[in-house]
Structure 1
Amino acid sequence: MKIAILGGGHGCYAAAADLSEAGHEVRLWRRDAAALAPLIEAGSIRLKDAQGARDVSIALATANIGDAMRGAELILIPSPAIAQADIARAMAPHLVDGQVVFIPPGTFGSYVMAQIARESGSRADVAWAETGTLPYLARKHGEREVNVTIRAIHLPTGVYPARKEKEAIEVIRRAYPAVHGCGDALSGALMNAGPIIHPPLMVMNAAPLQHFERWDIHNEGTQPSVRAVTDRLDHERIAVRDAFGHAGPHYPLADHYNNDKWMYGDAHKQLVKSGDWREHIDLHTHRYIAEDTEMGLAFLASAARYAGVDAPIAQGILAIVGGFLGRDLRKGPRTFESLGLAGLSRDALKERLHEGR
């Protein structure tokens, strides 16, 4: 299958190498041509995982998004949510009928990017899909080198518009057999693990993060008190899913720590053992704040408000982060209010998510 991968982060390089090794024709686009130069020159990505290290050839690495997207059946965007608006505008002129766009994870990006692409002039009949996490726990170790600690074994995926769910899931599963449908885009967004695991870790590790040059929030930063807050926040997420009528499995985050039933299986020990997450984290700029809190957690809190679900942990963490950022995160760009959804009736919202706009 011809696959376009849009972005230059950890997940993008991991996907480009992994899917190329699986036999797909992969074109990787990155807007920063200078940063892409080592990959273009070598023609390959150095992939490291449990099987060892090897160079994997990539069909095309380019700073021209049209060249990357041309003829692609699947367009994969494993980039942070903060980049989605720019990517949607860049890709809009090149979208064609029948393509499937897969955003892991999405932060409701399947809905948002579809609106931006349309506002940018695209009338292509496209299916947009999102899941709850990246297909990989991965970190780049060099300009063209990526280490994959573990691969996802379950990827619950929502589709916008939901009427295209069957065809979209069939296409994505050819690249990622771990994908399974979980309903509409809202259901997919409410599977997002980042806004559950990262905001409590950031808030409750704020002092050591600012004191030490490097700190592993998943190792010594994950203590029983932190876990208790994370579990309660996840209970709020599941309560919101229930309130919207989304069926299980809900993939409770406790399974990430306690057993092998979560999206990555029994991943926490491997994540800590890798050492890749002992890093410098800026409390004002890191994507755990800019993406998972300002966008993802604010989205969850707004969905709770819409559904009438009490979510004190979500609202409290938003208030604390808003305190050190100096702004009200309840008015963020990914809230029901900002997206114009808060005024819709339940039936109108369901229809829009199913039929598209």
Structure 2
Amino acid sequence: MRVTVVGGGHGCYAAAAEMAEKGHNVRLWRRDKQALESLSDAGAITLVDHRGRREVPLERITASLAEAVDDAELVIIPLPATTHQSLSVELAPLWQSGQVVYLPPGTFGSYLFMKTMREAGNEANVSFAETGTLPYLARKHGDREVVVSAYATRLPTGVFPSRNSDRALAVLRKAYPSIEPVEDALSGALMNAGPIIHPPLILMNAGPLEYFPSWDIHNEGTQPAIRRVTDALDAERIALREALGYVAPHFPLADHYSAGGDEWMYGNAAHEKLTDSGDWREKIELEQHRYMLEDTRLGLSLMVSLGRWLGLATPVAEGLMVLGSAVTGRDFYAEGRTLESMGLNSLDLAGFSGLLREGI
């Protein structure tokens, strides 16, 4: 299968390496020309995981989006949602009918990408899909090396428009057999673990994050008081899903921390794999880190706006979003990915359901 990976982040390198090892013809695009030159010279990504260290050749490494996307069957965009607005504009005229685009995770970016495509006058029949997490716990070590601590074992995935689900999921399963279908793209967006796990961790660890040169929010930063807030926030996410008519499994985040019970997206004991790696001991700049600008600003604002639209209170999500605004001096709701900002707040539930099914 012809697979394109868009971006040069941790998940992008992991996706490119995994897809190539699975026998797909992989193209990788990234914007950073200096980093791209180092990768192009080698023609391969160095992958380190439970199977050891090895070189994984890629078919093509390019700085041209048009070259990367042309004739691709599957386009994977494992980038933060903060990149979606500008990237969707660049990609809007390039999409071709039949293509499947995967946003792992998406924060309802599937709607944004299709809306921008239509506004550019592109009427191609493209399927945009999103899931609840990156398929990898991964960190880059240098310009062309990526270390993968764990691979996702369950990827709840929804498609926009959902009428394309059967074909899109068939394509996606060639890349990720661990995909599990959910109702639609909004259901997939409300599986996103980032806005549940990261805002409590960074805001309730703000003191040590600013004081120490590095701090592991997933290790010493994950304490019982913070986990109780995370559970309360996750309960609000699940309540939103149920109010929208989405059914279980809801993938409660508590399963991520449990060594037994229901398997979460990365399997049992995934939290221990993450902390044991040491790769998440880092310096987090609160005013600019993606945990703040992506998960707190975009992810929580989406939850809060859905709650307001449904008449369902989300006090923990709203409180954390307001705290993030105070820490950064910005208005996260005004800047957020809300129903208002996407022009969807005037729809009723039936109209929203029709949009999710039929697309734009």
Give the TM-score normalised by structure 1.
0.98
Of 254-263 and 115-124, deviating more is 115-124
Contact 1:214 1:281 in 2 (8 A): yes
Structure 1 position 305, deviation (Å): 1.3
Structure 1 position 271, deviation (Å): 0.1
Post-superposition CA distance 1:42-89 (Å, at most 9, x none)? 000000001110000000110011111122100100011011122212
AA at the equivalent of 2:274: L
Distance 2:155 2:172 in 1: 11
Distance 1:100 1:114 in 2: 12
Distance 1:272 1:240 in 2: 30
Post-superposition CA distance 1:192-248 (Å, at most 9, x none)? 000000000011000000001100000000000000000010000000000000011
Structure 1 position 259, deviation (Å): 3.1
Other-structure match for 2:357: 354
Distance 1:50 1:178 in 2: 18
Distance 2:68 2:344 in 1: 33
Q: Equivalences for 1:1-357 in 2 at 5 Å? A: 1-259=1-259, 261-266=263-268, 267-357=270-360
Distance 1:178 1:45 in 2: 23
AA at the equivalent of 2:141: H
Distance 1:347 1:353 in 2: 10
Structure 1 position 95, deviation (Å): 1.1
Q: What SS class does the counterpart of residue 312 from structure 2 fall into?
A: coil
Distance 1:312 1:64 in 2: 44
Distance 1:309 1:258 in 2: 29
AA at the equivalent of 2:267: G
Contact 2:8 2:29 in 1 (8 A): yes
AA at the equivalent of 1:165: S
Post-superposition CA distance 1:328-351 (Å, at most 9, x none)? 322233011111111111111111
Contact 2:92 2:117 in 1 (8 A): yes
AA at the equivalent of 1:222: T
AA at the equivalent of 1:264: Y
Q: What SS class does the counterpart of residue 93 from structure 2 fall into?
A: helix
AA at the equivalent of 2:304: A
Q: What SS class does the counterpart of residue 141 from structure 2 fall into?
A: strand
Q: What SS class does the counterpart of residue 147 from structure 2 fall into?
A: strand
Distance 1:347 1:280 in 2: 45
Distance 1:6 1:135 in 2: 15
Structure 1 position 127, deviation (Å): 0.4
Distance 2:160 2:203 in 1: 33
Q: What SS class does the counterpart of residue 4 from structure 1 fall into?
A: strand
Distance 1:70 1:164 in 2: 21
Post-superposition CA distance 1:85-127 (Å, at most 9, x none)? 2221222222111000010000100011111122223221100
Q: What SS class does the counterpart of residue 284 from structure 1 fall into?
A: coil
AA at the equivalent of 2:33: A
Contact 1:333 1:339 in 2 (8 A): no
Percent identity for Structure 1 against Structure 2: 54
Distance 1:35 1:273 in 2: 28
After TM superposition, the runs of 4+ consecutive aligned structure 1 residues lying more than 3 A away are none
Distance 1:66 1:327 in 2: 35
Contact 2:162 2:358 in 1 (8 A): yes
Distance 1:72 1:62 in 2: 14
AA at the equivalent of 1:349: F
Q: What SS class does the counterpart of residue 279 from structure 1 fall into?
A: coil
Q: What SS class does the counterpart of residue 207 from structure 2 fall into?
A: helix
AA at the equivalent of 1:326: G
Structure 1 position 323, deviation (Å): 1.0
Distance 2:297 2:135 in 1: 23
AA at the equivalent of 1:271: L
Structure 1 position 190, deviation (Å): 0.4
Contact 2:80 2:294 in 1 (8 A): yes
Structure 1 position 10, deviation (Å): 0.3
Distance 1:162 1:201 in 2: 34
Contact 2:92 2:113 in 1 (8 A): no
